Amino acid sequence: MKQSVTGLIKSILEEAKTNGLLRFETLPLIPVEAPKEKSHGDIATSIALALAPREGKRPLEIAKIILKGLEGKDIDFEKVEIAGPGFINFTFRKEYWHEILNDVLKKGETYGRSELGKGIDVNVEFVSANPTGPLHIGHGRGAALGDALSNLLQTAGYKIQREYYINDTGTQMETLGRSLWIRLLQLHNQNVSLPENHYQGEYIKGIAREMVTTRRLDEIIKITKARDFFDLSKMPEEEVIPFFTDYAKESILKGIREDLERFGVRYGRWFSEKSLYEDGKVDSVLSEIKERGFLYERDGALWLETTRFGDDKDRVVRRKTERYTYFASDIAYNNNKFNRGFKRVIDIWGADHHGYVPRMKAVIQALGNAPETLNILLVQLVTLLKEGKPVAMSTRAGEFVTLKEVIDEVGVDAARYIFLTRRHDSHLEFDLEVARRQSSENPVYYVQYAHARIASLFRETAVRGIILPETVDTGLLNLPEELDLIKDIANYPEVIEGSALSLEPHRITYYLHGLASRLHSYYYKYRVITDNLELTYARLFLLKSLGIVIKNALKILGVSAPEKM
């Protein structure tokens, strides 16, 4: 609808130019929007205001020219009027709105989908927490955002691959393995203490005990040809630690997988950093970049010239010690994504990594891609409130509230919904008590309740033997509240496109809230099932459409749409 109004105005302006009424050289962008004030019609444009200074005319004059040009056109609005300083407000005929419902019911769960993405392959990488400990609440936010964004983009017609990058190599993995090894030594009453920079969390002790009960430890003793545990503990560290690194990594990763699965997140691929080295991808990408002339040696180390692309200093990819930095595999990973055919790459990071954005953007360009092909969304950290007080969290010290605990306490729906009520770069306070409460304080129930109410209504009509016919007279829906609801419904595809373009799924939660609010109000004020059967049909038709939209939107957020509450 917007497009047709835009096109209409455009042609009128061009006609006015040929008639000598206007003299612009190039047409400016024609701003068209839905006004927030109802009396301003359904759609409005400020083009007359924008054009006025260039034309040397008053905005009202230009608005009148446009209005005049409209007269001969074959589009029927209920009303077109000039308002305020020169806005032109269009009001559609009611028939236009009434038509919408048929479309919604016909499309059902596909209502809201669009071709915006044109099947473009997009890689969405999110969470990617190091397998050194369980997921905490901050990861939950990234998970909710990444998954909802993926759903959203799919709805908007993109082809999405969800991906998790596993940092399963490097010194931190050794540290992890050593942490486990030391816990095992302690378990066998050996007097060793865990260094401060190692992983202190209780979960490492749990893994140690697990290794004993599952007999995995015995197997390792056998493989290393040690006689017993004591013998094993005398062996050189570098020979035994890889076993523990592997076990710890697998065990933790298994937990991460389970948590995410339970949270409703399924990845298309779990990508191992280690595999990049094993497949020679790191070496090959570096030599490729070297050919392009962006690599150089200095002080015995190998550097990527990221300053060529706006970074404030160049970055080391291989240390003097010959060991690669994490940056090196990051380059290979990004290159790999594009080599797999993704046209666009979206990364979701914790905001504490924002300093890495310029260098990754540089990498993209050094690889010969446009910087816009990489979107990095920074998620602000979550402040967890328990009994109204913030809970301090530190991963290394092993002091944190895990995602699992949060889900156990508040449930998946509430957790996901709350994470998605904020823009990604806005701070988020997560109040455990509020999230747990099954009351109006909890926004998720407000929306779910709207859906349950509609479902309940249809259970009631079934009992009463009222069966909704395939076609109904939607022209009976003339209450202002009914038209507002229809306009909300009609607006849904635009909300999807807007959210998809801006990568902001939180807009959907706000949209849903407004929708639910108008439904609750309508539901309270009017009765759907009345003595007038035709009217009852029409209202049921409206509510059925509404239920469809709520369900579709909740599905994008990854929140269930209950039939009963």
Partner RNA sequence: GCGCCUGUAGCUCAGUUGGAUAGAGCAACUGCCUUCUAAGCAGUAGGCCAGGGGUUCGAAUCCCUUCAGGCGCGCCA
Task: Compute the least distance from the CB of residue 250 to RNA, in Å.
Answer: 18
- Say if CB 410 and CB 443 are below 8 A apart: no
Query: How is residue 543 written in tokens?
Result: 């509510």
Residues 66-105 that bind RNA (CB under 7 A): 83-85, 87, 89
Nearest to 504, CA basis, from 346, 294, 363, 326: 346
Helix runs in 321-428, H state only: 326-339, 357-366, 403-410, 412-419
Three-state SS letters, 245-305? HHHHHHHHHHHHHHHHHHCCCCCCEEEEHHHHHHCCHHHHHHHHHHHHCCEEEECCEEEEC
The angle subtended at Cα 366 by Cα 129 and Cα 267, nearest 5°, is 30
Q: Taking contact as CB under 7 A, which single stretch among the options 15-23, 32-40, 250-258, 338-346 is the one that binds RNA? A: 32-40
Residues 435-454 that bind RNA (CB under 7 A): 438-441, 443, 445-446, 449, 452-453
Asked if 534 interacts with RNA (CB under 7 A), we say no
Residue 414, CA distances (Å) to 140, 254, 407, 527 in order: 12, 24, 9, 30
Task: Compute the least distance from the CB of residue 357 to RNA, in Å.
Answer: 7
Query: Which of 47, 232 has the CB closer to RNA?
Result: 47
Q: Binding residue for RNA (CB under 7 A) from 33, 219, 278, 473?
A: 33
Q: Binding residue for RNA (CB under 7 A) from 23, 37, 109, 471?
A: 37
Q: How far is residue 124's CA from residue 101's CA, in Å, rounded to a whole number?
A: 34
Residues 116-175 that bind RNA (CB under 7 A): 130, 170-173, 175
Task: Compute the least distance from the CB of residue 565 to RNA, in Å.
Answer: 4
Q: How far is residue 29's CA from residue 47's CA, in Å, rounded to a whole number?
A: 8
Q: How far is residue 183's CA from residue 206's CA, in Å, rounded to a whole number?
A: 9
Task: Give the number of residues in contact with RNA, rule: CB under 7 A.
Answer: 93
Q: Binding residue for RNA (CB under 7 A) from 67, 212, 253, 351?
A: 351
Q: Which residues, including other chains, have CB under 8 Å from residue 287's CB and lie 6 or more apart?
A: none
Query: Which of 220, 536 has the CB closer to RNA?
Result: 536
Residues 382-441 that bind RNA (CB under 7 A): 383, 421-423, 425-429, 438-441
Residues 462-521 that bind RNA (CB under 7 A): 498, 501-502, 504, 506-507, 510, 513, 517, 520-521
Residue 174, CA distances (Å) to 132, 171, 235, 457, 472 in order: 10, 5, 16, 60, 68
Task: Compute the least distance from the CB of residue 236 to RNA, in Å.
Answer: 21
Q: Binding residue for RNA (CB under 7 A) from 119, 355, 465, 480?
A: 355
Asked if 299 interacts with RNA (CB under 7 A), we say yes
Q: Binding residue for RNA (CB under 7 A) from 73, 527, 533, 534?
A: 527
Query: Which of 24, 526 has the CB closer to RNA?
Result: 526
Residues 224-263 that bind RNA (CB under 7 A): none
Reduced to 3 states (helix: H, G, I; strand: E, B; else coil), residue 431 is strand
Query: Which of 237, 441 has the CB closer to RNA?
Result: 441
Question: DSSP letters along 232-245, please?
Answer: HHTS-HHHHHHHHH
Asked if 279 interacts with RNA (CB under 7 A), we say no
Question: What angle in degrees, to the nearest 10, is found between the helix axes of 412-419 and 443-463?
Answer: 130
Q: Binding residue for RNA (CB under 7 A) from 1, 21, 27, 34?
A: 34
Q: Binding residue for RNA (CB under 7 A) from 23, 188, 222, 320?
A: 320
Query: Which of 156, 221 has the CB closer to RNA?
Result: 156
Residue type for 41, please? G
Asked if 352 interacts with RNA (CB under 7 A), we say yes
Residues 177-216 that bind RNA (CB under 7 A): none
Task: Compute the least distance from the CB of residue 465 to RNA, in Å.
Answer: 14
Q: Taking contact as CB under 7 A, which single stretch among the options 16-24, 49-57, 198-206, 280-288 is the one that binds RNA? A: 49-57
Asked if 460 interacts with RNA (CB under 7 A), we say yes
Asked if 52 interacts with RNA (CB under 7 A), we say yes
Asked if 46 interacts with RNA (CB under 7 A), we say yes
Rg of the chain over all Cα atoms, to the nearest angstrom: 30
Asked if 310 interacts with RNA (CB under 7 A), we say no
Strand 382-386 and strand 269-272: the pairing is: unpaired
Query: Which of 287, 502 has the CB closer to RNA?
Result: 502
Asked if 272 interacts with RNA (CB under 7 A), we say no
Q: Taking contact as CB under 7 A, which single stretch among the options 3-11, 242-250, 366-374, 456-464 is the one that binds RNA? A: 456-464
The angle subtended at Cα 360 by Cα 351 and Cα 161, nearest 5°, is 80
Residue 231, CA distances (Å) to 212, 216, 217, 389, 464 in order: 16, 16, 13, 49, 79
